[in-house]
A and B are shown apart, each in its own frame.
Chain A
């Protein structure tokens, strides 16, 4: 199990601004907003804040503090993530008028292949449409020679800049309160007083400590380590071995929850999720014959990756990610369990922006109008934990895995067949639906009876496979 910090209760604590009247804290013409961190959550917040402010005729200024240049290659420009934009988020962004450009989408994913040690099966979406976007957060992994693709984070940052946000490429050293208003001080000596400070500092920076030090009661979320690496195979080999399919590996390897291979332009990204994933674990996983079978036979997997990292991934929500004139969004507040972190960045960024523009910027405003969006995600994660616990039990049982494989193969064999298991697996591993919806679908009598029947048949000693 990952080492998790003890949670404190959610009661409100007295913040340094509590002495000031917080009943009428609102943004207005000329208000100054600081966003600490220019990743997806910060960019979404800035974009929607400026959009909503403009729609009601309010003139607000937004500074985004982000020292990282997302147009750079390797770790310098990367926010360390698998790089999948879920099917539901792609649709919602398109409805918002945000089309992810083809220069950012390295591959549109239309199917996935489930690999287990009892066999593999390809699962296609009913529409067979490229609705999942495989992207790189920065300009590309280490070793990238020229700008082949554009960065997703840079694209979002540009959207907020087009709306009027200003990027300040500087590290924030401290945040403090002066006369009830937050003051941001940077490494290069800039000191500026704001009406609202927004934390979008993720899990892999020390930014959360700046907000914990404010004494507003904020505590960063619990997290665990994951492993991500990039294999540079070239476009043709990626197309030949992976196509437009994401590969999900549910193998009975101790400590492994699941692994995913995500094809991109000329790279394939490997994401490992489990308990205590470390440098010793990775070679064991790569040497598995089921993993090797996904790649060209002559490729030395242990030497084949050009870029790697062990980023923290969200496990359990933060404590009180808001106060008077302060709100935190994205991973550093709440995120979806193991999946769709960018979807959570969109949800929390937009909810915080609409609260700030339409309701107010006091702790009470954020508690009433922003916190419910965070709680929704967190409550949904409870169902996610149950789903992944069940998945782990299936991983350990050969007959259950055969039952799953049998059910999916049958569903995929004919167009008209009901696709209950296929859809459950698709939504679980692509993050395309709330975990609650997925869980409720598994309780359907038809799903349960088919799965139990398939598992029983597979345990029958005279059954021919």
Chain B
């Protein structure tokens, strides 16, 4: 069976977006896996791993802030770019299109709450030794 994926092909380690750069699009993973990192005190802190049909970069669709994380390809990845203008003009005509984005962002807030609760409930002395992972981030 033939195969021809949409979007742009990124190879292992390629940066798809970089923390701090301006952005006017979000991305939907067509195939493969990406890893989200954030820089803290000169180190790359792992945030999340996303797979097929997940999206990232949606925060710059709704606010004018710079990218909040770096997203790198883990292996071969096809990523489709969704233009801010295309998306916002469609959401204006069909607000239900934003439901899925809200659903995903709501699920990320829920995970963030759970993560925060775990941190607050644990011994503060162990904080520094904890792996800083949180699997809900929109870059």
Contacts and interface: CB of A to CB of B under 8 A. Distances in A.
B82 A99 contact: no
B84 to A, nearest CB: 11
A337 interface: no
Given A92-B90, A97-B100, A99-B30, A265 B2 contact: yes
A200 interface: no
Nearest to A150: B1
Nearest to A52: B96
A103 B53 contact: no
A91 B26 CA distance: 10
A127 interface: yes
A149 B4 CA distance: 10
Interface string A96-122: 110110110111100000000000000
Contacts of B1: 103, 147-150
Nearest to B99: A55
Contact of A127 (B53, B81, B94, B96): B81
Interface string B76-106: 0010111100110010011011011100000
Nearest to B82: A91
Given A92-B97, A95-B101, A99-B28, A105 B4 contact: yes
Contacts of A351: 94
Interface residues of B, number: 29
B87 A95 contact: yes
B31 interface: yes
Contacts of B87: 91-92, 95
A242 to B, nearest CB: 13
A130 B5 contact: yes
B40 interface: no
A52 B80 CA distance: 26
Contact of A94 (B2, B4, B28, B31): B28
B2 A148 contact: yes
A8 B94 CA distance: 29
A91 B83 contact: yes
A419 interface: no
A88 interface: yes
Nearest to A104: B4
Nearest to B61: A95
B96 A108 contact: no
Interface of A: 52, 55, 88, 90-92, 94-97, 99-100, 102-103, 105-108, 127, 129-131, 133, 147-150, 265, 347, 350-351, 354, 373, 376
Given A103-B3, A149-B1, A265-B4, 17 more contacts: A91-B86, A92-B97, A94-B82, A96-B97, A102-B6, A102-B31, A107-B4, A108-B5, A108-B6, A130-B5, A130-B6, A130-B8, A131-B6, A131-B7, A133-B6, A265-B2, A376-B93
Interface of B: 1-8, 28, 30-31, 52-53, 55, 78, 80-83, 86-87, 90, 93-94, 96-97, 99-101
7 residue pairs, one from A and one from B, having the closest CB atoms:
A94-B28, A102-B3, A102-B5, A91-B82, A108-B6, A105-B4, A129-B8
5 contacts: A95-B100, A99-B52, A129-B7, A131-B7, A350-B96
